[in-house]
């Protein structure tokens, strides 16, 4: 943690800005937490771990993620060395010489490596790594202060920053292609790579095992993750600070750039609508949405996807029922019910409506049973009874086998076994004079 002191006079209010990086190259009088404790010793806590305890006030600093502390303590002349300004002639000359020396070292680094991306902990020249890192931090601080300077008394701080990161120094660093914001630079490189991928493949769906550029799919996944976290945090007031952080990482400008490429933020959402369109084509060609389980199209198992929709539908319906049941009494929900309500499902009301508009069948066994029952009703209406006698392969053979299966399932109930024949189905069959026992069918058959 680096500290930057503004220049003040004895008995005046001292302002201390806690910044992220060192802003002074001085070694003898580099400001530290201990120095600040001495500076405001009459009111500041002696603890160096909680410097804000002794300050009169603390408010958010308008420039960046820093805090502005103030104190009205009288500052004695003994403390003045800690407030010595860098703009004195000797210090300024020494500072310029040091800066020029590091700049030459940076030029030599670029000549050797082709860029100015010096690692922060550069083993061959640790000072050069610090110089590069500090330059970026000073540059950002200078322009943040200038942007918000009217909101706080930052005149001295602004002057100090203009000395340590002057227009001339900025111009010199720009002349060798210095990158001020490393994150922006990397983001723009990856964006161009994605743009090239999109032009070549027609989409931004970079596979995770993309051999040509292994970093690109990782970056793409990170954009989606940051986008989702930003959306989630924006909807929660208590997570407002986090939302702002992700807003900086994935700004509106970046989102617009990715949108312009047709970037898919929710891969599963995009894939779902692709399968839905395939289902519509299937229905148009076959007359229904009863896709066989083994059916595939273009290498994609549509039958499996259809089965998954039914599974997600069951979970979705169960959740809705429980939410309605416990509405207003959420605090009474037991652990098992809560787990049931939190089960993951991709089904929602929009998807449900779209599928039902295509005649989607949620319960296939029930649907097929109902079709056979309707066939039997027609038979009864024509023949006056439900006694189907048909040879294998005959006109009513499938219906005759279905009738026989209903009697078998009914007998299971009589024997105390599990059976798919529900009470509702039994009532429906009884309503058309269905004969359950084969002995009865023989007697009625003989009478006829």
> What pLDDT, on a 0 to 100 scale, did the predictor assign at position 447?
46
Sketch the domain layout of the chain as residue ranges.
2-83, 89-141+160-175, 182-260, 289-357, 364-447
Residues near 86 by Cβ (< 8 Å), separated by ≥ 6?
24, 26, 92, 95, 160, 163, 164
pLDDT for position 271: 83
Q: Which long-range contacts (CB under 8 A, 24 or more apart) does 189-192 make?
A: 190/215, 190/216, 190/219, 191/254, 191/257, 191/258
Identify the band that residue 267 occupies on the pLDDT scale cut at 50, 70 and 90: confident
State both tokens at 51.
Answer: 């410097």
Instruction: Report yes or no: 409 and 403 within 8 Å, Cβ to Cβ.
Output: no
Tell me the C-alpha distance between 390 and 388, whole Å: 6
For residue 302, which phi and psi values (nearest 5 degrees)?
A: -70, -35
Rounded to whole angstroms, the Cα distance separating 303 from 290 reads 9
Radius of gyration of the chain measured on its C-alpha atoms: 38
**Averaged pLDDT, 205-227:** 88
Half-sphere exposure (Cβ direction) of 356: Cα atoms closer than 13 Å: 10
| Tokens linked to 242 | 């986090």
Closest-CA residue to 264 (of 197, 313, 316, 351): 197
User: What is the per-residue pLDDT across 41-81, written as a single tens digit (0 to 9) for each?
Assistant: 333 333 333 433 443 333 444 334 333 333 333 333 333 33
Q: Judge whether 396 and 379 are in contact, CB under 8 Å.
A: yes
The yes-or-no verdict on residue 327 having pLDDT over 50 is yes
157-171, 317-331, 335-349 — which is least confidently predicted?
157-171
pLDDT at 209: 81
C-alpha distances in angstroms, 77 versus 8, 29, 85, 272?
A: 12, 15, 15, 73
Distance of CA 100 to the CA centre of its chain: 44
**pTM listed for this prediction:** 0.46
Confidence of residue 283 (pLDDT cuts 50, 70, 90): very high
Q: How many CA atoms lie within 13 A of 238 on its CB side?
A: 0
Q: Residues 400, 389: contact at Cβ < 8 Å?
A: yes
pLDDT at 89: 60
Percent of all residues in the chain with a pLDDT value above 90, rounded to a whole number: 31
């Amino acid at each position: 943690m680096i500290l930057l002191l503004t220049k003040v006079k004895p008995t005046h209010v001292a302002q201390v800005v806690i910044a992220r990086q060192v802003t002074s190259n001085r070694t003898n009088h580099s400001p530290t937490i201990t120095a600040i404790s001495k500076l405001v010793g009459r009111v500041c806590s002696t603890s160096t771990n909680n410097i804000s305890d002794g300050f009169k006030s603390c408010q958010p600093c308008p420039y960046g993620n820093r805090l502005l502390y103030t104190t009205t303590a009288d500052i004695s002349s003994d403390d003045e060395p800690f407030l010595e300004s860098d703009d004195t002639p000797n210090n300024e000359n020494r500072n310029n010489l040091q800066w020029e020396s590091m700049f030459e070292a940076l030029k030599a680094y670029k000549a050797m490596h082709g860029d100015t991306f010096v690692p922060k902990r550069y083993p061959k020249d640790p000072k050069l790594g610090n110089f590069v890192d500090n330059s970026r931090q000073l540059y950002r601080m200078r322009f943040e202060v200038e942007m918000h300077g009217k909101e706080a008394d930052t005149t001295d701080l602004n002057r100090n920053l203009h000395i340590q990161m002057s227009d001339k120094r900025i111009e010199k660093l720009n002349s060798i292609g210095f990158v001020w914001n490393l994150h922006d630079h990397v983001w723009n490189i990856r964006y161009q790579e994605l743009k090239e991928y999109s032009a070549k493949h027609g989409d931004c769906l970079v596979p995770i095992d993309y051999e040509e550029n292994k970093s690109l799919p990782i970056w793409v996944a990170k954009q989606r993750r940051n986008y989702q976290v930003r959306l989630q945090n924006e909807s929660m007031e208590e997570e407002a600070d986090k939302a702002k952080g992700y807003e900086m990482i994935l700004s509106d400008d970046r989102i617009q750039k990715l949108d312009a490429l047709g970037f898919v933020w929710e891969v599963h959402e995009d894939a779902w609508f692709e399968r839905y369109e395939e289902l519509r084509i299937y229905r148009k060609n076959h007359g229904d949405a009863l896709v066989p389980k083994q059916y595939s199209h273009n290498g994609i198992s549509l039958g499996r996807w259809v089965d998954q929709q039914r599974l997600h539908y069951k979970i979705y319906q169960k959740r809705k029922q429980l939410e309605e049941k416990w509405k207003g009494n959420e605090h009474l929900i037991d652990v098992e019910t809560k787990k049931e309500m939190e089960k993951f499902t991709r089904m929602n009301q929009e998807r449900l409506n779209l599928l039902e508009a295509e005649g989607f069948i949620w319960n296939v066994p029930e649907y097929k049973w109902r079709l056979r029952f309707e066939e039997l009703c027609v038979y009864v209406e024509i023949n006056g009874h439900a006694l189907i006698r048909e040879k294998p392969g005959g006109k009513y053979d499938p219906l005759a086998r279905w009738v026989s299966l209903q009697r078998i399932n009914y007998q299971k109930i009589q024997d105390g076994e599990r059976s798919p024949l529900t009470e509702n189905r039994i009532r429906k069959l009884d309503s058309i004079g269905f004969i359950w026992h084969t002995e009865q069918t023989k007697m009625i058959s003989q009478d006829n």
